[in-house]
Amino acid sequence: MSEVQPISETAVDRREETVVTRQPGYAATEEVTRDVASERRQILFQIDRIIWSLLGLLEVLLIIRFALKLIGANPDSGFTAFIYGLTGAVTAPFTDLIPTLSSGGNTLEMTTAIAMVIYALLFWGILAAIPIITYQIRARTVRRSTRDETRGGPGNVRTTHTTSNH
């Protein structure tokens, strides 16, 4: 015969479940502990990694755009058109922010460099805000009891020690 003590659904850092199996002449206890706070940290870590990866990809594309403009790459080339098409939307808010310097076919597009800095700061701000937004204050009560079973079966239970922490 097994008894499962239910998991508390209140917001706690750890959830424990105890399964007690009793048979004549045999008793086994299995305790399962789930660290909810650790699971939450792992999810936030994954979100953090995804956001940093997106920023890294964006920054690499902007660096390539900056380099292609600087060396005067042919805008009709497939690769150049592809990069300009991908990065055009993210550099659009910065167009005509400051004058672009050109010499021959080479262009020093400082608006792309400014976009790189602004997006890095924006992503950093988002990453700094996530822990603040998701932080939850927790209050919990823990009650522990030690019980002794005397001969005569499960009905003969005597509580020997009880503690409560708030």
Asked whether residue 10 is domain-assigned, the answer is no
| Angle value at C-alpha 147, between 146 and 152, nearest 5 degrees | 165
Asked whether residue 151 is domain-assigned, the answer is no
Asked whether residue 94 is domain-assigned, the answer is yes
Q: Give the residue-averaged pLDDT of 46-55.
A: 95
Length of the chain: 166
Asked whether residue 19 is domain-assigned, the answer is no
Q: pTM higher than 0.75 for the full model?
A: no
What percent of the chain is modeled with pLDDT above 70? 68
Asked whether residue 111 is domain-assigned, the answer is yes
Torsions phi, psi of 10, nearest 5? Answer: -70, 160
- Average model confidence (pLDDT) across the chain: 79
How many domains would you assign to the chain? 1
Q: Is the model more confident about 2 or about 94?
A: 94
Asked whether residue 42 is domain-assigned, the answer is yes
